[in-house]
Structure 1
Amino acid sequence: MKLGIGAAIGFFLAFLGLKGAGIIAADPSTFVTMGSLTAAPALLALIGIIITLILYVKQVPASVFIGLVLTAIIGVIFTLAGFGTGDVLMPAVPAQAISFDFDLSLFGACFNGFGTLFNNIPNLIMMLFSLVFVTFFDTTGTLMAIGRQCGFIDEEGHAAGIEKAFLADAVGGIVGAVFGTSTVTAYVESATGVGLGGKTGLAAIVTGILFFLSIIFAPLVLGLFTSPVTCAALVIVGILMIGQLKEVEWDNIVVASSVFMTIVMMILTYSISLGIAWGFVVYAVASIASGKAKELGWAIWLMVIVFVIYLFFGL
């Protein structure tokens, strides 16, 4: 399951990148289809993927980062030449590179609803369960997959010091809520940084500082590094992450079925936690059918029960 979750996140990353660039688009008949490859964002993303893939195959140091920069430059050239001008997905040099115009209107707004929060205890319990469930398993899947990519997972599948990462994630979520931002949590896109070689605590600190500085340079960063530009990085890192599948016991139907469902459902439901839930439920069902149910510990069965409740009752 750990291998399956890591690979599934790799596929999910690639899907996010392709969707954001317009290469994959919505369709009323088939739900998803291929977008117009002649559209400026999609064409730019394809050029970025080709450039980054060539650099990576040639073993050029920092190939993913160089691919990002080159794709952004090509995108600006496209825009200046009139190809894709006005499209919000296309890179463009903003008129203002630095901004101190911060919107703090939502600071502390999370406390406004506490007056009515405890009026309906059953609903409160269901909301807390849902939020904790999604957050915990999204974070767990992300940390395990990226930790394996970094080489922090031992042969028994344990990640030393992962409790500190969970604590940082929890504190970040609370602080982010107070400031009124979108959830501050571990994101699967962090795999892109790992693909660039950032695998240490120092890399994380530097990244944090740069994120802080990017608040000031937000117009420039958001103007240049749009979805088509980052698409290549997500696709290439996704390719690297699915390499974990070679260690899966594909001749074991119990393992193969659970890994398959984890990957498919994570992509199709657009949710890491739902993909994990389906994988565990299928693993339990296949284990019962194969007569290996007794090999599963009580903790696995408890998780399966929770996953079933979450999947079928939406709690």
Structure 2
Amino acid sequence: MASDVLTRARRGLDSYFGVTAAGSTFRREVMAGTVTFLAMSYVLAVNPSILGDQGALGDKGIPMQAVFTATAVAAVFGTLVMGIWARYPIALAPGMGLNAFFAYTVVLTMGIPWQVALSGTFLSGVIFFVLAITKVRERILNAIPLQLKFAVGAGIGLFVAFLGFKNAGIVVNSDATFVTVGDFTKSTTMLALFGLVLTVIFLVRGWHGAVLYGIVATTTVGMIFGIVDVPHSIAELPKGLDQTFGQAIIHLPDAFTGQMIVVVLTMLFVDFFDASGTLIGVANQAGLLNKDGTLPRAASAMAADSVGTTAGAIIGTSTTTAYVESTAGVSAGGRTGITAIATAGWFFVAMFCFPLFSVIAGSAEITAPALIVVGVLMARSLGDIDWQHLEYSVPAFITVIMMPLTYSIANGLAMGMIFYPIVMVAKGRGKDIHPVMWALMVLFLGYFFFLVEH
């Protein structure tokens, strides 16, 4: 009797997720989900180190344990939605780059409280959801030049890598030259350099969990030499969400300001196009695209991503989005939503391991190599920019370079949006500019002249 029930349930799951039809098996899907988790689990240490109150933000940051728990819960929820609803082997978690924007631009530079920043994240998720389930999604995708989309990803990569070099002590401030090389004889800098070299070796060797393995090895060496504290325990019950849950809703009225319009638009823009690129890229590797190159169930997949962002903001973390590390699971054979469900299961287990991850998150020299490597991976889109045509390369270059130089993703994005219509008109291609780009140009000009503190 029981075996009959299990058999019917298995057939039902197979029919819904299309495991057999995709040429896969349940065992392979679960193993692929495990590989995906190993490839992206570093976010459990890196996200609290960026958003938490024990890093650069100090008392302006979100309580560290709350960020860790929120990161894990958001990853579980968002990945389950993607796996069950959209049925893709794609995992979600708070995105790298947007968490840096949240912390260093919105909270640290603009002086916006993290509670209000969460409200901005929530609003961007709601708008994203509306765009995802309507045809407006396609119009927006067509309005923004492809070259600027590449530039935004690459610029965020340089910005994230710069944060990593700074946190490692490899790059330090200088009164004479603004920045200069740090002191390599410092124990923390030496540990970060060791971690960077080791992580790069793992990466070029093709290890799917390269970043995680690098973090583990660096932490172990740091503990042996007394640079990093030894955790008092391995696991404990999750806690801290009482400090963040619902803050995005409570402070929603404070999010309707001129500054926050730019914040929300930046979050929306980056998440929208990052999610689109990741979904198509992962689906293409898995052989799931239609013959015409379109994404099946595109509305469901994009909506799932937006739901992850909205729920993550309510829980207490920055933008939750699709992770390109999902390609690791796909390369291991993952083809259906079962892979995502398995990944969510591992994030649930990790939710109980805060004492271990807190040691890593509280040590910038350990997480710095991860930021640098992630920056390298994001900067690969530089090769997709058409550098031979100045009407594309000029705004793209300005977008890329202004993000690290002004310590702001929003500033780089805004400058690129302003320069694109200018160079296109100068080239005699004013008719090719979409009305949306003109509107964004005016908006970002207002941002620089009236909203940026001088």
The answer to whether the superposition gives a TM-score over 0.5 is yes
Specify the alignment match of 2:135 in structure 1.
Answer: none
Specify the alignment match of 1:69 in structure 2.
Answer: 216
- Matching of residues 142-153 of structure 1 within 5 Å: 142-144=274-276, 146-147=278-279, 150=282
Give secondary structure in 2 for the equivalent of 1:270: coil
Give secondary structure in 1 for the equivalent of 2:163: helix
Give secondary structure in 1 for the equivalent of 2:321: coil
Q: Mind listing any 5+ residue stretches in structure 1 that lack a counterpart?
A: 85-89
Specify the alignment match of 1:227 in structure 2.
Answer: 364
Aligned residues of 1:149 and 1:194 also touching (Cα < 8 A): no
After superposition, the C-alpha distances for 1:210-265 in whole angstroms (9 at most, x for unaligned) are: 44433321111121464333333332343343333233221211111111111111
Specify the alignment match of 2:61 in structure 1.
Answer: none
Specify the alignment match of 1:296 in structure 2.
Answer: 433
How far, CA to CA, are the matches of 2:174 and 2:275 in structure 1?
33
How far, CA to CA, are the matches of 2:175 and 2:439 in structure 1?
39
Aligned residues of 2:403 and 2:412 also touching (Cα < 8 A): yes
Aligned residues of 1:266 and 1:273 also touching (Cα < 8 A): yes
Specify the alignment match of 1:244 in structure 2.
Answer: 381
- Of 399, 407, 410 in structure 2, the residue corresponding to residue 273 of structure 1 is 410
Question: What's the offset of the Cα at 1:176?
Answer: 4.1
Specify the alignment match of 2:353 in structure 1.
Answer: 217
How far, CA to CA, are the matches of 2:295 and 2:391 in structure 1?
25
| Percent of aligned positions that are identical | 30
Give secondary structure in 2 for the equivalent of 1:32: strand
Q: Over the residues paired in the alignment, what is the CA RMSD in angstroms?
A: 3.6
Aligned residues of 2:152 and 2:270 also touching (Cα < 8 A): no
Give the letter aligned to residue 230 of structure 1.
T
- Matching of residues 1-315 of structure 1 within 5 Å: 1-60=148-207, 62-79=209-226, 84=227, 90=228, 92-100=229-237, 102-103=239-240, 104-110=242-248, 112=250, 117=253, 124=256, 126=258, 129-144=261-276, 146-147=278-279, 150=282, 164=300, 167-179=303-315, 181-186=316-321, 190=323, 193=325, 197-198=328-329, 204-224=340-360, 226-314=363-451
Give secondary structure in 2 for the equivalent of 1:221: helix
Give secondary structure in 2 for the equivalent of 1:182: coil
How far, CA to CA, are the matches of 1:186 and 1:126 in structure 2?
25
What TM-score do the two structures reach when normalised by structure 2? 0.55
Give the letter aligned to residue 436 of structure 2.
A
Give the letter aligned to residue 201 of structure 2.
I
Aligned residues of 1:20 and 1:228 also touching (Cα < 8 A): yes
Alpha-carbon spacing, 1:178–1:299, altered in 2? closer, same or farther (3 Å): closer
What TM-score do the two structures reach when normalised by structure 1? 0.75
Give secondary structure in 1 for the equivalent of 2:225: helix
Question: What's the offset of the Cα at 1:65?
Answer: 3.7
Aligned residues of 1:7 and 1:243 also touching (Cα < 8 A): yes
How far, CA to CA, are the matches of 2:408 and 2:195 in structure 1?
26
Q: How many residues align?
A: 293
Alpha-carbon spacing, 1:290–1:184, altered in 2? closer, same or farther (3 Å): closer
Specify the alignment match of 1:87 in structure 2.
Answer: none
How far, CA to CA, are the matches of 2:352 and 2:258 in structure 1?
39
How far, CA to CA, are the matches of 1:216 and 1:313 in structure 2?
46
Alpha-carbon spacing, 1:46–1:162, altered in 2? closer, same or farther (3 Å): farther
Aligned residues of 1:137 and 1:272 also touching (Cα < 8 A): no
How far, CA to CA, are the matches of 1:206 and 1:269 in structure 2?
40
Alpha-carbon spacing, 1:194–1:25, altered in 2? closer, same or farther (3 Å): farther
How far, CA to CA, are the matches of 1:29 and 1:186 in structure 2?
40
How far, CA to CA, are the matches of 1:111 and 1:10 in structure 2?
31
